Structure 1
Amino acid sequence: MTNITYFPKNKEMFLKQAVEAYASWHLPEAVQYMEKALAIEKDDTLYPLYITLLLELYELDRAERFFEKTFPQIDFVETTPELDVLYIRLLIELWALDKAKLLIHHRIDRYQGNSVIVEELNGLLDKLEQQEQAYQRDKEKQIKDVLTQINHVENLSFYQQQHIIPLLNHLDDALYSQSVHTLLHSALHPILKTYLLEISIEKKVLQHFNMTWFGQTVELDVNQLSPVMDHALYQACLKYIEEVVQDEHIKEMLIKNTLLYFSILYPFPEVLFEHYDIFVRTLMKRNAHEDIEYQREWFEKIEYWIAQMEEC
């Protein structure tokens, strides 16, 4: 029978290896040995070193999971001064600044008799406030940059205009409403105006307002609008395509282009879609490069804006 040599798997050996790895600045190995030691025996005295190693390695997710599993009530119940400080350090690294600030003030009151810990906590409070100030400066710069882009949207490509939309989320409600109003009267691509309208329908930030639609100023009531894909004319168009088109490839192409054309014309798609059956047949002919007259002017306007999208 083959002799099997079992290497000693004891806590002291793993701790020794963890210390040696740490001394050599091999931190990932130190963490592995520490975890093996803790797997053999839970030891509260080792937790601070273990968490310190994780923070040094910026293993924030692992550190967070450790606290959630080992000290699920740490937000409400003190553990040890060292672990409380490490937990607050973790929160600051995770940018959970409000929670960290509350805990710092609570722990300062709790550890008034421990000047060393109170000094550490005050140091963390200073770091937190510096991060808050940096965050506020960055936010103000982002807002300024967004407003500058909005006011010069006519100079931007479709891709650059597209990039503006998610940045609106950095604005408060008042600035958001003002910015959307500006964009709806600007040279913003029509399909992006449609996207803004759909967001407004969802958020109900705007109610009654006006916008520039293909050179015309039009008045709108958000409560009277429905999302593009819920619009009755769009649904009728889809139903017609399903009924008359058999080829799946052609059907897919028609549905895709119908949504594109509809989105560019929204919120007044009836200029082209009122006779949705004629529109579908015309769209099929245009893709076949046949000469057609139905609403030629509108097709050409839409295809101009499609070309703007394709230039990116």
Structure 2
Amino acid sequence: MGETVPFPKNYEWYKKEAMECFLSGRMEDSIPFFEEAYRLEQDELLNTNYTTALYQIGEYEKAKEIADDKYSFYESEESLALFYTAILIKCHLFLQAEQALLFRKKKYPLTDTSEANWTAVQSLLEEEQAKIELEKQQRIQYLLKESYSLGDKSFAKQSAIMKELEEIPLELFIEAVRPILANPYVNGIVKATAIERLAFEKVQGSFDIYWMKEKRSIQPCTLTSIKKHKIVQEVMFLLSERIEQTNPSLYQAMVQEVSLHFFMLYPFIEEVITSPTEWVGLYQKRYSESNQIEESDYETNEMNRWMQKVEQELMDLT
């Protein structure tokens, strides 16, 4: 008669196929059938088998998602509570797992067998925590090594590494950013990101920095963030006042460009933008049909040269 063709919403057929794969150890093959069956009927036994299959193939987040559908059921039996705690551990939800281990002492009467089972789960927790800590330390050492050659990488890679560095302990972050700030080939936006954290943490001491083809030094504890910088706030206010109401789309385009320039100029914004009004005027002229600058206006000319220099730096470093 040929192979059975499942009808739409044929729960029993999907369940049968899922369990045949499951019981023969073919967990990966069982997943599509479990998924279809569970979509049609959220049976408790099906839930535990589906969750087990997901756990066995390493799909821990999905396993927790399915188990959570029947959370009270998993709390109803000690064996299921053991399994759910193991899922928490594999999802690296260590605090929840530790709380579950404490809770079981009050809820379930301990026998020799259950004590051994919970001890095994406790060992799994400790092993997983140690594994994650080791991986974390290895990743930090990799990032520290990469910080010395960050200038050899693309802007996208530089940004990705800096994003990770921002999450490491401050002492190690300071160690990593010193070579980054002094490297002439690291993008100015990446350097600004590093300096902002140093400033936020009020880090003491001096840091050498290669900024706009100049060797300089900074004291992070004396700096503010870009957003809170007085000149930045004045420029953004003027842009909003002059352009936002009359031309919102132009305003958004200008804000993106201005923000990018601030990152490139940080932490020496005040040395370049000596007049927020004239700086905004330069942007207006750049976006208008006539962008000629009066030769007699020395200050504006000087800032215009800086604006061109920033744009060249962006082209060179990206």
- Fold-level match, TM-score > 0.5? yes
| Residue 86 (structure 2) aligns with | 89
- 8 A contact 1:31–1:54 mirrored in 2: no
- 8 A contact 1:31–1:53 mirrored in 2: no
Whole-angstrom CA distance in 2 between matches of 1:263 and 1:249: 22
> In structure 2, which of residues 189, 192, 210 is the aligned counterpart of residue 191 of structure 1?
189
- 8 A contact 1:17–1:33 mirrored in 2: yes
| Residue 176 (structure 2) aligns with | 179
Change (3 A) 1:88 1:162: same
Residue 274 of structure 1: SS of its match in structure 2?
Answer: coil
Extract unaligned runs of 5+ from structure 2.
1-10, 23-29
> In structure 2, which of residues 64, 68, 84 is the aligned counterpart of residue 65 of structure 1?
68
Tell me how far 1:102 sits from its aligned partner. Answer: 5.8
Residue 215 of structure 1: SS of its match in structure 2?
Answer: strand
Change (3 A) 1:249 1:46: closer
- 8 A contact 1:60–1:94 mirrored in 2: no
Alignment of 1:61-140 (within 5 A): 61-70=64-73, 74=75, 79-100=76-97, 103-104=100-101, 112-115=110-113, 117-140=114-137
| Residue 298 (structure 1) aligns with | 306
Tell me how far 1:253 sits from its aligned partner. Answer: 3.8
| Residue 230 (structure 2) aligns with | 232
> In structure 2, which of residues 274, 297, 316 is the aligned counterpart of residue 308 of structure 1?
316
| Residue 267 (structure 2) aligns with | 267
Establish whether residue 150 from structure 1 lines up as the match of residue 147 from structure 2. Answer: yes
Over residues 65-94 of structure 1, what are the superposed CA-to-partner deviations in whole Å (9 max), with x where a residue is unaligned?
2354556xx5xxxx4221122112211221
Over residues 6-59 of structure 1, what are the superposed CA-to-partner deviations in whole Å (9 max), with x where a residue is unaligned?
xxxxxxxx88984674135445545766787776xxx8x887556535645743
- TM-score normalised by L of structure 2: 0.69
> In structure 2, which of residues 202, 212, 215 is the aligned counterpart of residue 206 of structure 1?
202
Residue 228 of structure 1: SS of its match in structure 2?
Answer: coil
Give the percent of matched residue pairs that are identical in Structure 1 and Structure 2: 16
- TM-score normalised by L of structure 1: 0.70
Q: What is the aligned-residue RMSD (CA, Å)?
A: 4.0
Extract unaligned runs of 5+ from structure 1.
1-13
Whole-angstrom CA distance in 2 between matches of 1:231 and 1:260: 15
Whole-angstrom CA distance in 2 between matches of 1:128 and 1:206: 37
Whole-angstrom CA distance in 1 between matches of 2:251 and 2:69: 53
Establish whether residue 254 from structure 1 lines up as the match of residue 220 from structure 2. Answer: no
| Residue 9 (structure 1) aligns with | none
Instruction: Tell me how many residue pairs correspond in the alignment.
Output: 284
